[in-house]
Structure 1
Amino acid sequence: MAGRFARSWALAKASAGMLNKERRLLVFPLLSSVCCLLVLASFAAPVFAALEARGGASAQELQHSVGFYIGLFVFYVVQYSVIFFFNTALVGSAMACMNGERPTVGDGLRLAASKWPQIFGYALIASTVGMLLRALQERLGLIGRLVIGLIGLAWTVATFLVVPVLAATDVGPYEAVKRSTQLLKRTWGENIIGNAGISVVLSLGFMLIVAVLFAGVIFSVSLHAAVLIPVLAVLGVLAFIALALIQSALQGIYAAALYRYAEYGDAGNGFDQALLDQAFRSKR
């Protein structure tokens, strides 16, 4: 276990090293977050307007109507399309960096735009799966929900490399899902060490921010300087946003490295070949 954690830490540092050199990669998760918020607002506004027009008593009825599920499906498709678009731009740019290139933000966006039909097709597949799992969870008991949750987790693991496949090849979304599953079976086994390492590191960062904010609030109260509390709140929000962007960027870089290793046997510039050989042992 100690060895696995050490490899996870090393992988996280390697991803962070690339991100430190290519900080422009943070632009993609930032653009994705802004666009996702705009999409959410554009869908939430008419829903709230409809609920207000029909009265609180009919809210439950509206939520179980056919129109609500159609709107939810459309929301899923649009939101997933936005997320996959910017993830493709991020992963494609990271792959270019691993090849020794210096891609611009525009290069990444143009790559994603060239893959738009495949991205939209994958968004349709992911939305359909998400809607089916949601519908099943609403109709099953606790045990059934746990089973559906495990199925959802398996889907997430199986499709982890879909975006890198879309970014690097010209295959369609269905073929990308198949290819992602094949690559994971061949290289990962049950060990998802890299993502676990990144999550642990960023979770520690979030905990550190909470601890610092708590100490700052206590200090402000003890000095009767309540005016500092809003300032601390703003700084805390900005720190959380920064960490969230860093986590998204690191996961994209890591996905690109894993795909390259799985497909070609090396991860390119910035990643230790021996480290990856240890972290991603093929299933026997």
Structure 2
Amino acid sequence: MARNQSIVPGGKGGGGNAGIVGKFKTGLKLSRDSLGVVRDHPKLLVFPLLGALSTLAFWIAFLLPLWIANLFGSGAEIVVLFLLYFLTTFFATFFTASLVFAVNQTFHGEEPQLGESMRAAWRRKGPILVWSAIAAIVSVILKKLEESDSALARLLSSIFAFGWTITTFFIVPVIVFEEVTVKSMFTRSAETFRDTWGESIGIGLGVTLIQVVIGIVGLVVAILLAIGLGVLFPAAGILLGIFLVGGVLVGTYLLGQTIWAITKTALYVYAAEERVPEQFADFDFETLDGRSERRATPGRVRDPPTHLHS
């Protein structure tokens, strides 16, 4: 079977309004199936929660050092920023890698285990450390360009940031599923985005739509409950409203992050094992939802990585 297939521009699934609609429908279908995985295994939401909490904790911890470094200048703020970006990227990637491993367990009919998943991610600490250091350097450079008084520098920053996002879109699944070098880490991620660019865009649209719908419904329910209680007890109604609205916003964020990880993992499980997860049985991975005009990239067939099951 041909592997790592991509859509040929201008083919049956190519440009135009029909292509855009098709990408959106594909992304929505993938997102819907991923939502079903979350429904069956809600513990998966723990990983993005831990990642978000670690990021928040580091930003709070670095507020004072950043302020002091900015007062002194002379490059001290760059060092502090690098440390902040490095730590936040490492822990966010670590918990996302744990989530990807846990999702892969569900695809193999197993119940995801939080501890086992984090131990599996820790075994990939080498590539995660390298990725975190590179990402931190890039983040510092982008921040300095964004703060520049030069319009050209800010424009270059935006262009590079867009390219960087595309190149690293699948970086975590690559780290989890493959034994990679520093170079291949980025090339494999970029290749995967290229080969699934329509689906990647569609996933973004699908996840966004699901987040918006769930968020709006949740906010409406939260506000109505708060108003109902506020009629009798105004202070309690306000407190309940704040609590519920905050909960809806956090829950919607966690759901979106989890769906992203599940859809990316599903694409990688198919690429690594030539097997469609049963949770995505209604999605045609081989032709990318029925769009048959595609080109094959030879030499990609590989056995499932042994570290995933060790």
TM-score range, shorter chain: 0.7 to 0.9
CA distance in 1, matches of 2:47, 2:184: 25
State the match for 2:40 in structure 1: 21
Distance 1:125 1:280, change over 3 A: farther
Q: Among residues 49, 52, 57, which one is paired with 1:33 in the alignment?
A: 52
State the match for 2:171 in structure 1: 162
Q: Is the 8 A contact 1:119 1:173 kept in 2?
A: no
Does residue 87 in structure 1 map to residue 104 in structure 2?
no
Query: For this pair of structures, how many residues does the alignment match?
Result: 274
State the match for 1:76 in structure 2: 85
Q: How far apart are 1:195 and its partner, in Å?
A: 2.1
Superposition pairs of residues 205-244 of structure 1, within 5 angstroms: 205-215=214-224, 225-244=234-253
AA of the residue aligned to 1:158:
T
State the match for 2:148 in structure 1: 139
Q: Among residues 127, 132, 139, which one is paired with 1:118 in the alignment?
A: 127
CA distance in 2, matches of 1:143, 1:216: 50
AA of the residue aligned to 2:143:
R
Distance 1:180 1:134, change over 3 A: same
Give the percent of matched residue pairs that are identical in Structure 1 and Structure 2.
26
Distance 1:143 1:200, change over 3 A: farther
Does residue 256 in structure 1 map to residue 254 in structure 2?
no
CA distance in 2, matches of 1:195, 1:250: 10
More helix per residue: 1
Q: Is the 8 A contact 1:86 1:109 kept in 2?
A: yes
AA of the residue aligned to 1:272:
A
Deviations 1:116-166 (CA, angstroms, capped at 9, x unpaired): 011010001111111122222222544642442232122112211110011
CA distance in 1, matches of 2:152, 2:225: 43
CA distance in 1, matches of 2:49, 2:77: 29
Q: Is the 8 A contact 1:166 1:172 kept in 2?
A: no
Q: How far apart are 1:262 and its partner, in Å?
A: 4.2
CA distance in 1, matches of 2:112, 2:199: 33
5+ long unaligned stretches in structure 2: 1-19, 296-310
AA of the residue aligned to 2:29:
A
Distance 1:190 1:21, change over 3 A: closer
State the match for 2:24 in structure 1: 5
What TM-score do the two structures reach when normalised by structure 1? Answer: 0.84
Q: Among residues 100, 103, 108, which one is paired with 1:99 in the alignment?
A: 108
Distance 1:20 1:66, change over 3 A: same
Q: Is the 8 A contact 1:188 1:283 kept in 2?
A: no
5+ long unaligned stretches in structure 1: 52-58
Which shows bigger deviation, 33-42 or 116-125?
33-42
CA distance in 2, matches of 1:95, 1:153: 29
Does residue 183 in structure 1 map to residue 202 in structure 2?
no
Which shows bigger deviation, 222-231 or 13-22?
222-231
State the match for 1:130 in structure 2: 139
AA of the residue aligned to 2:25:
A
CA distance in 1, matches of 2:281, 2:195: 20
CA distance in 2, matches of 1:217, 1:269: 41
Q: How far apart are 1:5 and its partner, in Å?
A: 3.3
Q: How far apart are 1:70 and its partner, in Å?
A: 0.6
Which shows bigger deviation, 259-268 or 200-209?
259-268
Deviations 1:39-84 (CA, angstroms, capped at 9, x unpaired): 2222124345x38xxxxxxx6x54x541111100111001100000
Q: Is the 8 A contact 1:94 1:256 kept in 2?
A: yes
CA distance in 2, matches of 1:273, 1:190: 15
Q: How far apart are 1:221 and its partner, in Å?
A: 6.3
Does residue 67 in structure 1 map to residue 76 in structure 2?
yes
AA of the residue aligned to 1:151:
F
Distance 1:173 1:107, change over 3 A: farther
Q: How far apart are 1:12 and its partner, in Å?
A: 1.4
AA of the residue aligned to 1:5:
F
